Amino acid sequence: MEYTIGEFSKLTDLGIHTLRYYEHEGLLTPERNSSNRRCYSEKDLAWVMFIKRLKDTGMPIKQIQHYAKLRAAGDSTLPERMELLAAHRNALCIQIRQLQENMEKLDSKIEFYRTEIERMSNK
Amino acid sequence: MEYTIGEFSKLTDLGIHTLRYYEHEGLLTPERNSSNRRCYSEKDLAWVMFIKRLKDTGMPIKQIQHYAKLRAAGDSTLPERMELLAAHRNALCIQIRQLQENMEKLDSKIEFYRTEIERMSNK
DNA sequence: TCTTGACATAGAGTTAACTCTATATGATAC
DNA sequence: GTATCATATAGAGTTAACTCTATGTCAAGA
């Protein structure tokens, strides 16, 4: 199955401008048909979903770009790609821990507010 | 204890330009001495630390600004401030769960790479 | 006193990641 | 066949959050 940019935009929830921007940045390389229109494949779809995951976990476009280049270079870059993902995974792990810590602090602040409001209404 | 902007910058690790920017945006309101220099207090310090926590958990400046306004308005805004923090806490909770989910997916991708690399080196 | 350094303001510049506009062309519906 | 619509490119504009520059003031050390 192939998709026009309009269909692909809806499918990925990404906006045609964003899709063209990603392509310009080297993240995507869809085929073109006889009249130069972009043809996105299922493979492009899976790849975009992965890009979104990387983005959601805070990876900047520049790094995704690097990863995309490795991917385009073929199987010989598998180890390097794995390294890259593993490093990102570890950063993510730290980030999650920090967020959890922050949430705990936030919880105690909320608790403080709760007792403070209680105290004031009992005055 | 009071601090000049230079001291406060080192203490908070925030850059004097950033401190002035935060003040311009209404996040901070340090005292001024007789010659118009900023004097940051311990209270400012605690408040900046809290601002950093909110920022680290993804709250945009605009929202922190709103919180700061409520804070400046006094005790009558305690309930609203608590509401705001509670809402942020819940958003944070969801964010953490999503990150954990993404990390799991990332882990399986890394695992896939590992077996793939293994397979290739055994060929 | 003179110079150096921290501080003051106002406003310009930067960066990331889009997002939109202008203009042109190929495809589709009537 | 013509009006409309999706798509094409190139490049400008936007937003958030800084970050820096220009210019001026003031206080303290040599």
**CB half-sphere exposure, B53, CA atoms < 13 A:** 18
Looking at the structure, tell me whether residues B20 and B64 fall in a common domain: yes
Looking at the structure, tell me whether residues A40 and A84 fall in a common domain: no
- Nearest CB to B106 within list A85, A105, A114: A85
User: Is residue A68 one of the residues assigned to a domain?
Assistant: no
Q: Would you say B47 and B60 are in contact if contact means Cβ atoms under 8 Å apart?
A: no
Looking at the structure, tell me whether residues B118 and B90 fall in a common domain: yes
Looking at the structure, tell me whether residues A50 and A86 fall in a common domain: no
* pLDDT on residue B122: 87
User: Is residue A66 one of the residues assigned to a domain?
Assistant: no
Q: CA–C1' span, A35 to C26, in Å?
A: 7
Instruction: Write out pLDDT tens, residues A63-111.
Output: 999 999 999 999 999 999 999 999 999 999 999 999 999 999 999 999 9
Q: Would you say A45 and A26 are in contact if contact means Cβ atoms under 8 Å apart?
A: no
Domain total in chain B? 2
Looking at the structure, tell me whether residues B63 and B82 fall in a common domain: no
Of B31, B56, B72, the position where a domain reaches its end is: B72
Looking at the structure, tell me whether residues B100 and B50 fall in a common domain: no
Looking at the structure, tell me whether residues B33 and B92 fall in a common domain: no
Looking at the structure, tell me whether residues A3 and A51 fall in a common domain: yes
> Is the C-beta of residue A34 closer than 7 Å to nucleic acid chain D?
no
- Secondary structure class of A32 (helix, strand, coil): strand
Looking at the structure, tell me whether residues A85 and A120 fall in a common domain: yes
Instruction: Write out pLDDT tens, residues B38-69.
Output: 999 999 999 999 999 999 999 999 999 999 99
Looking at the structure, tell me whether residues B53 and B1 fall in a common domain: yes
* pLDDT(A21) > 80: yes
> Is the C-beta of residue B55 closer than 7 Å to nucleic acid chain D?
yes
User: Is residue A67 one of the residues assigned to a domain?
Assistant: no
Looking at the structure, tell me whether residues B57 and B93 fall in a common domain: no
CATH label of the domain that carries residue A43: 1.10.1660.10
Looking at the structure, tell me whether residues B67 and B84 fall in a common domain: no
List the nucleotides on chain D closer than 7 A to a protein CB: 6-9, 11, 16-21, 26-27
Instruction: Write out pLDDT tens, residues B88-108.
Output: 999 999 999 999 999 999 999
* pLDDT(A123) > 80: no
Q: CA–C1' span, B11 to C19, in Å?
A: 39
% chain B with pLDDT above 70: 100
Please enumerate, as own/partner, the contacts of B75-78 that have beta carbons within 8 Å and a separation of 24 or more: B75/A120, B78/A113, B78/A116, B78/A117, B78/A120
User: Is residue A108 one of the residues assigned to a domain?
Assistant: yes
User: Is residue A39 one of the residues assigned to a domain?
Assistant: yes
Domain limits for position B82:
77-123
Mean pLDDT, rounded, for B63-87: 97
